[in-house]
Amino acid sequence: MEKAVDAFADASQTDGEGTDEEKAKKAADATREAMKDLRDAVRDEHDMHRAKSIAGFRNFNDAEESSFDKKAHLKTLREAHDEYEARNVKLLDEFEEKCTKTAAERDEHIDWLAGKLEESQRAHKKAIIKSAKVMCKAAFGEEEQADEKVLEILKTFLSPYVPEQMQNAVFMKVGAASPLPRKKNWARPIN
């Protein structure tokens, strides 16, 4: 979408000769055409993103081939896409209104739109990731918890290399994925 906003900025910029009235008409026509192109580009991006993400969710298979049902998760995904598209259309409507009211502040309006679209993309990405995590948990169940001994060993040896804010999350994740047995007496000496 960033390229579409840049293309709008380039296409709507007019320099020309003539009276102020002619320049204003050319600028309004150029902005109108650039706005149509921007809306088409955003709509195309929505369609491509929707198709790719739904295809990814449809191709998802759990390893156990259980009776996992993807329909509810696909419905949630489609709803997230609908919200994202509606939010972006509303932003484009606001942007168009701002551009028509105060054409002199066009660059500020373009920066505003770019920021809002980026914010919308981040929120949508979080929603999709959350849906994917929920689907994975439904298919595979909850992750195993790390053994206390494994956590203690990880903290002892990895603390100098992992930033303090991330240590707990990293150690829990690595500990849960550890191939070590999860018995209380796993550290007993071998005879």
Query: Per-residue pLDDT for the chain (191 aa), expressed as one digit of tens each?
Result: 788 888 888 877 766 666 777 777 887 788 888 899 999 999 999 999 889 888 888 887 765 656 667 888 888 889 999 999 999 999 999 999 988 888 778 889 999 999 999 999 999 999 988 888 888 777 766 666 667 787 788 778 778 877 887 777 777 777 766 655 544 444 545 54
pLDDT at 100: 82
Whether the Cβ atoms of residue 178 and residue 150 lie closer than 8 Å to each other: yes
pLDDT at 185: 46
CA distance 47 to 122: 17
CA distance 85 to 88: 5
pLDDT at 179: 59
C-alpha pair distances (Å), 184 with each of 7, 34, 51, 125, 172: 62, 67, 48, 40, 17
Q: Under the phi-then-psi rule, with left for phi > 0, alpha for psi from -120 to 50, and beta for the rest, what region is 142?
A: beta
Q: Which two tokens stand for residue 28?
A: 């309004």
C-alpha pair distances (Å), 18 with each of 45, 130, 142, 176, 185: 38, 55, 69, 71, 88
